Structure 1
Amino acid sequence: MNNALVQRKMALNKVNLPVRYLTEEDIKQLTETCKKERDRLLITLLFQTGVRISEALALTPAAIRNFEGKPAMEIIGKGKKLRMVALPVNLKEKLESYAYRAKIEPRMRFLT
Structure 2
Amino acid sequence: MEKVNRLAAENEVLIISKSSCCLCYAVSVLLRDLGVSPMVYELDQDPEGRDMEKALVRLQGCNTPPVPAVFIAGDLVGSTNELMSLHLSGDLNRMLKPYKAVQEN
Higher relative contact order, structure no. (Cα contacts within 8 Å, ≥ 6 residues apart): 2
With normalisation by structure 1, the TM-score equals: 0.30
With normalisation by structure 2, the TM-score equals: 0.31
